[in-house]
Structure 1
Amino acid sequence: MSFVKSLAAAQYILSRCQETRDPAVTPMQLIKLVYIAHGVMLGRHGVPLLEETVEAWRYGPVIRSVYNSVRGFKSAPVTMVAGARPHHFSDAERAVMDHVVNTYGPHDAVVLSAATHKPGTPWSITWERFGQNSTISNDLIENFYRHLLAQPTHSSL
């Protein structure tokens, strides 16, 4: 099942945020952090973190299973990712998710959403070419994050 790893990644990121950064992670913030971790994994290692597709929704890139799992929290802090089961992540996957929590975790959902909506991002390219709810290709995400990670600051904010 492709969504199992997505939910596990969301729970891992949520737990790390709660432990180290911000216990009040909103659904939109968590969805963006999972997306960014997927992008950084592709950009650094050439392999996806998630086995599920990312879609270009009106408010940015969305992993459908993560959205469905946390949408009930609305704008309140997420306390847990419904349906998440323990998953054995590789050292590289954990390192990427930890990096994303440390780099992007301190930023609220509005900042993260704005960053993923900038012109030239995988979301904006997909939105313009294919429209709402289209799949954002991993190749597009990988190329964007590979270029981003080659920059001195390594940040899309």
Structure 2
Amino acid sequence: MPGHDPRAIANEFIKLSGNRPFNQMWLQKLVYMANGWNLAINHNPLTDARIEAWDGGPVYRKIWNHLRDYGYDADSKLLCRPSDGPYEAPLSQEERDVIEHVWKRYGDYSGNELSQMTHHSGTPWSNTYFGRGRNAALDEGEIQRYFVDLALAGRQ
């Protein structure tokens, strides 16, 4: 099953945040983590876009470019198409469960704290950033293995 536009997944976290202030780093890392957990649990990517190893951690250029060019909708705070409303995804129940899991586990962390989590040695970001270089694409298989290992470590 192909993944969803990362801007639609970002909107899921914006909806969950209510009136809580947030920033792009926070949003980027939650979408990345949701994709990783979906790979580990459901064996499919949640997003359909390339994830790059930027200085601040994993980044979806689609989200970054959208926020640079259009920002958030003034009323809803969602990421919206310039003339066609918010990005949405037809999520399965399993995908919604992963988003809820990520929200409960990571939603209270700041963007900087989430970024620090991705910077640990042995993470897909650190392996890519220091192995293939700045802005290189993270490997989906490596992301999946990393999150499977996190799940197994959590069971011990």
TM-score, length-scaled by structure 1: 0.85
Q: CA deviation at 1:152?
A: 2.3
Q: CA deviation at 1:137?
A: 0.7
Q: CA deviation at 1:70?
A: 2.6
Higher Cα radius of gyration: 2
Two-structure CA RMSD over aligned residues (Å): 2.2
Q: Please say if 1:136 is aligned against 2:138.
A: yes
Kindly provide the CA deviation profile for residues 4-26 of structure 1, in whole angstroms up to 9, marking residues without a partner as x. Answer: 621111101111122xxx62111
Q: Distance in 1 between matches of 2:106 and 2:39?
A: 17
CA contact (8 A) 1:57 1:132 kept: yes
Supply the AA of the counterpart residue of 1:82.
C
Q: Distance in 2 between matches of 1:119 and 1:91?
A: 33
User: Where in structure 2 are the equivalents of 1:58-97 lying within 5 Å?
Assistant: 58-71=55-68, 79-83=77-81, 84-97=86-99
Tell me which residue corresponds to 2:11: 11
Supply the AA of the counterpart residue of 2:112.
V
- 2:50 is matched with which residue: 50, 53, 62? 53
Relative to structure 1, the CA distance from residue 49 to residue 28 in structure 2 (aligned partners, 3 Å threshold; closer, same or farther) is same
CA contact (8 A) 1:126 1:136 kept: yes
Q: Where does structure 1 differ by over 4 angstroms across 4 or more consecutive aligned residues?
A: none
Count of aligned pairs between the two proteins: 146
Q: Distance in 2 between matches of 1:136 and 1:71?
A: 22
Q: Distance in 2 between matches of 1:4 and 1:90?
A: 11
- 2:101 is matched with which residue: 99, 117, 129? 99
Q: Distance in 1 between matches of 2:66 and 2:151?
A: 30
Q: CA deviation at 1:79?
A: 2.1
Tell me which residue corresponds to 1:28: 25
CA contact (8 A) 2:7 2:62 kept: yes
